[in-house]
Amino acid sequence: MRANVVADAIAVEERWCARNYKPLPVVISRAEGVWMWDADGTRYLDMMSAYSAVNLGHSHPRILHALTEQAAKVAVVSRAFHTDRLGPFLAKLCELTGLDGACPMNTGAEAVETAIKAARRWGYRVKNIPEGRAEIIVARGNFHGRTTTIVGFSSEAEYQDGFGPFAPGFRLVDYGDADALEAAITPDTAAILIEPIQGEAGIVVPPTGYLRRVREICDRQNVLMILDEIQSGLGRTGKWFAYQHEDIRPDGLCLGKALGGGVLPVSAFVARRDVISQFVPGNHGSTFGGNPLAAAVGLEALNTIADEKLVERSAELGAHMMTRLSAINSPLIAGVRGRGLWVGVEINPTLATARSVCEALMRNGVLSKETHDTVIRFAPPLVISAEELDWAINRFEETLSALFLADAKVPA
């Protein structure tokens, strides 16, 4: 009977929902901390955290308290009026980043779009680039969102197919190659927009010193350095922000996902004063951006990360996760890379697909998701315990062993 409930739930969703995702065949009905339960009552450990949106775990009591308390007072009034929640939230963001001001938005893609607008206007108003000629340099393998502007400078054909024409003004260079980046700069270059670690590309970590070189290049060439830390920020890599691993500071920073505490879409573009001041009344906005409910939850998310020392936990347990995953002796693993509680495991494509491994792992009680057909992402909530993490890694190791032995080419 329960199997019919699960099948029916999947059937109804597939009947009415656009097929823009290919979920694993599981129906989640509730979640708490690092655990999720399906409609059949089966428990799973979440090793994905909704692409880092659930860094604080599911249904964190502090986040739920902030959410319900603020919702009972006032939730949305638009930016037509001041509120007592927005200022403290953005002040905390600026304190953490060392930057001067912020523009609140809702989704990560909106934060990136805001960064693009700010960079172009800065290019025209401050750098004196001729109107209409500002360029932004981006990296191959990037993932900054799904708007038409953003997919227009993706290097993934699938993201672009059938969605053009696309906005001009972007130059692609190889990720991790600082020399190529500098060579692409022209007098019309306003900014460089990159991820300090590429998430959707498969948790790709650039060479050591890359971000420092980019910072030096931007300073020398009078170009803005804008980082997208929507997935990598807020403790995911063992630092508050991934750029801190190289002791630099960007001119602009895109944040989102975990900023909403796992319950709301909350994002922001944070930048130095001459960049954020490019926004004036009338030239940019959002009805829901910076609403008091989002601001209250965002502030509580930041305070909870600090109070519970989740950044430090990510660094410690992330090192443990890397050590354990790297030690797994399986021909199905082609490589392991990552930083903090954010690791990508490359699957040998001649032996299995990442999708098949994720489906088998699901049957063993652990949920994650593949990217680009070959990589499995491991990004548990930062509240995970060492015991829970080891439990998940043990299940992963058992899954790989069972899959390898089940291969017809390998005798049991």
Mutual angle of helices 310-327 and 386-406, in 10-degree steps: 30
Number of Cβ within 10 Å of residue 401's Cβ equals 14
Among 209, 145, 203, 140, which Cα is nearest to 175's?
140
390 catalytically annotated:
no
Tracing tokens 């597939």 back to the chain, one arrives at: 14
Residue 320's φ and ψ, nearest 5 degrees, are -65, -45
Q: How many CB atoms lie within 10 A of CB 241?
A: 24
Q: Are 330 and 347 in contact (CB under 8 A)?
A: no
| Residue 239 annotated among the catalytic residues of the structure | no
363: left (phi over 0), alpha (psi -120 to 50) or beta: alpha
CB within 8 Å of 42: residues ≥ 6 apart: 365
Report the half-sphere exposure of 112 (CA within 13 A, side-chain side): 26
Beta-bridge mates of residue 227? 194, 253
Give me the catalytic one of 38, 46, 228, 251: 228
CB atoms within 10 A of CB 406: 11
Q: Is residue 204 within 8 Å of 140, Cβ to Cβ? A: no
Q: Are 115 and 103 in contact (CB under 8 A)?
A: no
Pair 286, 111: CB distance under 8 Å: no
- Strand segments (E) across 106-158: 135-139
Which of the residues 89, 143, 241, 269 is marked catalytic? 143
Contact indicator for 104, 297 with CB cutoff of 8 Å: no
Token pair 């980019």: residue? 214
Annotated catalytic, 143?
yes
Q: Residue 265 is encoded by which pair of tokens? A: 């879409």
| Cα gap 379→367, rounded to integer Å | 10
Of 92, 239, 257, 369, the active-site residue reads 257
C-alpha 399/C-alpha 378 separation (Å) is: 15
Which residues are catalytic, by number?
143, 228, 257
